[in-house]
Amino acid sequence: MTGPDGGDVVVCPGRDHPVRPGDLVTLFGTAEELALAGLDGETDGPAPDRTGRLREKWHLARSLISEVDRRLAYALGGLMALATVAIVVLRLGYREPDGTRMTLLDAAYFTVETIATVGFGDFNFRSQDPWLRGFAISLMLLGALLATTFFALLTNVLVTIRIEEALGNRRLKHLTGHVVVIGLGSVGVRVVELLSGAGTEVVVIERDEHNRYAAQVRASGVPVVFADATLPQTLHRVQLPAARAVAVLTSDDLVNLETGLAIRDHLGSGGAGTPVVLRLFDRTLAATVERNFGLGQARSTAALAAPWFVGAALGLDVIATFYVGSQLMLLGRLTVAAGGGLDGLAMQDLSARTRVVAISRAADRGVLEHPPRRDTRFASGDRAYLIGPYEDLLQVLRRDTLSPAGLDEPGAATRP
């Protein structure tokens, strides 16, 4: 739990810990438990959103209309005006061999036939008045010119749209609720894959046009913008103010910091609700940036990854690492060793910063006890699922490797 000012994190608070308005409380439990508590738990994927699909189609239609060259509209308007005038003139001035006038349908047919220069011989101007033959000459010349211009501009629009679609640029103009990922390295491409798999629209900004992951990401339908993410025009191009979140994931701490400052300046006071996550290797720098620069959340990938390696080396099966506020947390699984320090130990005797969320009982053929009570005791062979700061979980793991006699030695439980 963290306060409204983002201060110190209270890990695994007791039931009597007071909660005040504005506090950020992180809960865990089964989906059924969260639902009974009136909370929306996370699901494996987004529910189908028909409204969202309709909105996306509307944005695509607007994008297509916006791509239309104004000259194309002028050419089409001129062509339609010429055809209208020709239909009226032919309807009133053209005389059939029997002296009757053309019907409206015949006039429209003859006009299109003349403009398209595909005369079939069923109508001609040979026996018409000189002024009408002069009009026919003008109609053929202007019609051919306007028709050629219209189809040339239409072809240009279609080719331009296809090129921009291939590059992913056409989708950028009406994006909203998307996530901007800056930096397409090994971490960035994995983040893009996870976000796309969850149904979230993603836009990538990458400085290197020869990035080895660019083709892979584009093939998955994610637009990639090759530009400098610190430039205002780049951030404007990816619709940053309308983004749901921003992740800065390059492999250079200083570049990430500079980009974060540029994002803060671009969003201004109106972007306070847009989460910005910076990838920083130095944990001290990450804490300083979070505390003093107001750049959102700064996370160290090294700090997140370290518990996996340490846990694997010591026998702890790490399931996940995550942050609660500024506190790195770990979810792990261990098997209670026979005769070890955890064998027969009650839950209430563990560190207050550690919680056992479930126990798979070896004596009951793996029946899951969730959640265990304070007086519940470990037994050899049980598989325990624990959550807490990784330092505390590693101490629990060390305790399991010691015999009860070894635990009586001074400092045994806290010895590195």
Instruction: Give residue-wise pLDDT tens across range 131-151.
Output: 988 998 899 899 999 999 999
Beta carbons within 10 angstroms of residue 362's beta carbon:
15
Q: Which residue has the higher pLDDT, 297 or 53?
A: 297
pLDDT at 48: 43
Identify residue 3 by its one-letter amino acid code: G
Per-domain boundaries in the chain: 70-167, 174-299, 306-407
> What is the mean pLDDT of the segment spanning 363-380?
86
Q: What percent of the chain has pLDDT over 70?
A: 83
In the predicted model, is pLDDT for residue 11 greater than 80? no
Compute the distance between CA of residue 18 and CA of residue 9 in angstroms, rounded to an integer.
14
The pLDDT, as a whole number, for residue 68 is 64
Q: Nearest Cα to 330, choosing from 304, 348, 352?
A: 304
Confidence of residue 56 (pLDDT cuts 50, 70, 90): low
Name residues whose C-beta falls within 8 Å of residue 264's C-beta, 6 or more positions apart in sequence.
271, 276, 293, 294, 295
Q: Which residue is listed with tokens 């501009």?
A: 153
Whole-number pLDDT of residue 282: 80
Helix 70-93 to helix 104-115 angle (10° resolution) is 130
CATH value of 174-299 in 3.40.50.720, 3.50.50.60, 3.90.120.10, 3.30.43.10: 3.40.50.720
Nearest-Å Rg of the Cα atoms of the chain is: 35
Place of tokens 């944005």: 59
pLDDT of residue 191: 93
* pLDDT value of residue 79: 92
HSE toward the beta carbon, residue 358, CA cutoff 13 A: 12
3-state secondary structure the chain: CECCCCCCECCCCCCCCCCCCCCECCCCCCHHHHHHCCCCCCCCCCCCCHHHHHHHHHHHHHHHHHHCCHHHHHHHHHHHHHHHHHHHHHHHHCECCCCCECCHHHHHHHHHHHHCCCCCCCCCCCCCCHHHHHHHHHHHHHHHHHHHHHHHHHHHHHHHHHHHHHHCCHHHHHCCCCEEEECCCHHHHHHHHHHHHCCCCEEEEECCCCCCCHHHHHHCCCCEEECCCCCHHHHHHCCHHHCCEEEECCCCHHHHHHHHHHHHHHHHHHHCCCCEEEECCCHHHHHHHHHHCCCCEEECHHHHHHHHHHHHHHCCEEEEEEEECCEEEEEEEEECCCCCCCCCCEHHHCCCCCEEEEEEECCCCCEEECCCCCCCECCCCCEEEEEEEHHHHHHHHHHHHCCHHHHCCCCCCCCC
Taking the C-alpha atoms of residue 353 and residue 330, their distance in angstroms, rounded to an integer, is 12
pLDDT at 409: 52
Are the folds of 70-167 and 174-299 the same? no
Average pLDDT value over all residues in the chain? 81
Measured at the CA of 393, the angle between CA 391 and CA 399, to 5 degrees, comes to 105
The fold of the 306-407 domain, in CATH, is Alpha-Beta Plaits (3.30.70)
Residue 276 · residue 296 · CB < 8 Å: yes
Give the closest residue to 109 by CA, choosing from 96, 119, 99.
119
Provide mean pLDDT across the span 253-276: 85
Fold classification of 70-167 (topology level): Helix Hairpins (1.10.287)
Please report, to the nearest 10 degrees, the dihedral formed by the alpha carbons of residues 101, 106, 107, 109 taken in order: -160
Torsion of CA 33, 38, 39, 41, to 10 degrees: 50
| Amino acid 415: pLDDT | 44
Give the model confidence (pLDDT) of 60-93 as tens digits. 566 556 656 678 888 899 999 999 999 999 998 8
- Tell me the pTM: 0.59
For tokens 């001609």, the residue is 124
Summarize pLDDT for 197-251 with one digit per residue, the tens.
988 999 999 999 899 999 999 888 888 999 999 999 999 989 898 899 999 999 8
Range with the largest mean pLDDT of 111-120, 199-208, 283-292: 199-208
| pLDDT more than 90, % of the chain | 23
Residue 10 scores a pLDDT above 70 = yes
